[in-house]
Chain A
Amino acid sequence: SQKIEQNSEALNIQEGKTATLTCNYTNYSPAYLQWYRQDPGRGPVFLLLIRENEKEKRKERLKVTFDTTLKQSLFHITASQPADSATYLCALEGSSNTGKLIFGQGTTLQVKP
């Protein structure tokens, strides 16, 4: 069956360091992968999308990689700040041209000053 896995353990890092979050999937061949941020008590907010033919995507301090051979995406936040503390969700296209996404369970990041 199709499965998306993110590290369920919280990631604690020091301010200024690079945070790296992992998203692994099985039995999928998604055309794209997305990353979202979710703060407590709020809905997720879109951050980045990377397509299957792209190896890397950047947006300000964020960087996403997508390895379709390893079936893995890495999400990096450089020069992390306490304001980056949140839960980060990866999502894969559930089926073509439907806008249907399947989400991982999310990884909570805590950046300490």
Chain B
Amino acid sequence: NAGVTQTPKFQVLKTGQSMTLQCAQDMNHEYMSWYRQDPGMGLRLIHYSVGAGITDQGEVPNGYNVSRSTTEDFPLRLLSAAPSQTSVYFCASSGTTSGIYEQYFGPGTRLTVT
């Protein structure tokens, strides 16, 4: 199993550009989440999904869109990039084996907006 994969690893955008961060998992997990991590701020939840076709907002959803058309994929779209979105983005997935919502994280995407 590849686990959770994210692409790209690094990205530089100009203000106003749009892009999609890709996330895929091969563990048949129902739950998927996107977090951003900034120095001293820990991981903050952007959006999450409890299954295909179902998404909801987290703590910091503004400026980001998500969709979940399949169990495996959960892309994060930046509509119009801003310097405040410079961060490291992590995708995570979890299932309900034994009722434990242990999260598996991808390697992250480091995004810089200039």
Contacts and interface: CB of A to CB of B under 8 A. Distances in A.
Interface of A: 6, 8, 32, 34, 36, 41-46, 49, 89, 91, 93-94, 97-106
19 contacts: A6-B42, A32-B101, A34-B101, A41-B108, A43-B107, A44-B103, A44-B105, A46-B103, A46-B104, A91-B103, A98-B31, A99-B30, A99-B94, A100-B45, A103-B35, A103-B43, A103-B45, A105-B41, A106-B42
Contacts, number: 70
B90 A43 contact: yes
A30 to B, nearest CB: 11
A99 B42 contact: no
A44 B106 CA distance: 8
B5 to A, nearest CB: 11
Interface in B44-60: 44-45, 48, 50, 56, 58-59
Contacts of A43: 4, 90, 92, 105-108
A46 B100 CA distance: 11
A5 to B, nearest CB: 10
B105 A98 contact: no
Contact of B50 (A34, A46, A98, A105): A98
B93 to A, nearest CB: 8
Contacts of A102: 45, 59
